[in-house]
A = this chain, B = another copy of it.
Amino acid sequence: MPLGRLTNRQVRLAARPSGLPRATDWSLTIEEVPEPAEGQFVVAVSHLSVDPAMRGWMNAGASYIPPVEIGAVMRAGTVGRVTASAHPGFAVGDDVSGTFGVQEYAVSDGRGVIKIDTSLAGPSTYLGALGMTGLTAYFGLLDTGRLKDGDTVVVSGAAGAVGSMAGQIAKIKGARVIGITGGPDKCRALVDDFGFDAAIDYRADNVRKALGEHAPRGVDVYFDNVGGEILDAVLTRLARGARVVICGAVSQYNETQVRGPANYMMLLVARASMTGMLVFDYEDRYPQAMAELAGWLRDGKIVSREHVMHGDVGDFPETLLMLFDGVNTGKLVLALDGS
């Protein structure tokens, strides 16, 4: 590699994991950073979004998005700054958000890239409250969940990125909100920091029983990020006409044998629905939603909590595992300070 050229360190998928991803499922490669061709620009990635959905992208087979191919740079939502440009719409110094992957530099033609205003909120907030995280919570709750004033809402994975946003949005919209999370610290964060009405610690409490206490008239909207036993418990507490929003299933992503919701017939008992949602379907409504989210953030009605780890791209594999240990509160971000 010629002296003086920038190097780009990249994390690539080396093997498809079975269960939790291991070190051997990844490879670290180093390339030189190319010059942008006409209509392209180069971004120096500063912040990586670390998401449960990434685990799904590592599996073979059709899903809502093609899998990351073996040998490809791992897909990731990111924020960065333009360092070179031959694109009329992007100038050196522009702050941008896009799916640039787990690498230090990316070349882009601008598709799917949006410019961000880092004076309004820090870069990591554009991966959280003002990014896919906030938008997922927003559309999942208001569109798929058809939230109504006075509803009782339950959110699982409630201290996580999407969950903490979903709970706060539900509160703004006049719902009573109960969060399910693991451990006393996170329970405290739900009530004290995010303004939930109640918190259930699934490690210490009987979720079904606790829901009976906190939601005596049943659950109108259940925003599910975890699947598994917790989904089954909430299904037994649905109010008539309840809406279950399937956003994720983090408890199941590393299981080779997925546990289906054995209590799904409670959908019949409650005349309830269970609906899958994907934020990408709402692309034409992102601007309106982001404006509303930014307004709430500015007015202090929502708190964007980012759990920022500092390191370099080589720390990505370990950071990803934090999600499955339930270590993070709020949006997990890897800031590339070491590059």
Residues of A within 8 A of B (CB): 62-64, 227, 232, 246-249, 252, 257-278, 281
Contacts and interface: CB of A to CB of B under 8 A. Distances in A.
A253 to B, nearest CB: 9
Would you call the interface of chain A mostly helix, strand, loop, or mixed?
loop
Nearest to A227: B265
B268 A277 contact: yes
The listed residue with most B CB atoms (<10 A of its CB), out of A252, A261, A271, is A271
Nearest to A270: B276
A136 B263 CA distance: 22
A248 to B, nearest CB: 8
B281 A276 contact: no
10 contacts: A64-B268, A246-B267, A249-B265, A258-B263, A259-B260, A260-B261, A267-B276, A271-B281, A272-B276, A274-B274
Nearest to A63: B269
Given A63-B269, A269-B63, A246 B264 contact: yes
A234 B30 CA distance: 44
A197 to B, nearest CB: 25
Contacts of A267: 246, 274-276
B273 A278 contact: no
Contact of A269 (B259, B270, B276, B281): B276
Contacts of A265: 227, 246, 249, 252, 258, 276
Given A232-B260, A268-B278, A271-B281, 4 more contacts: A246-B268, A258-B262, A267-B276, A270-B276
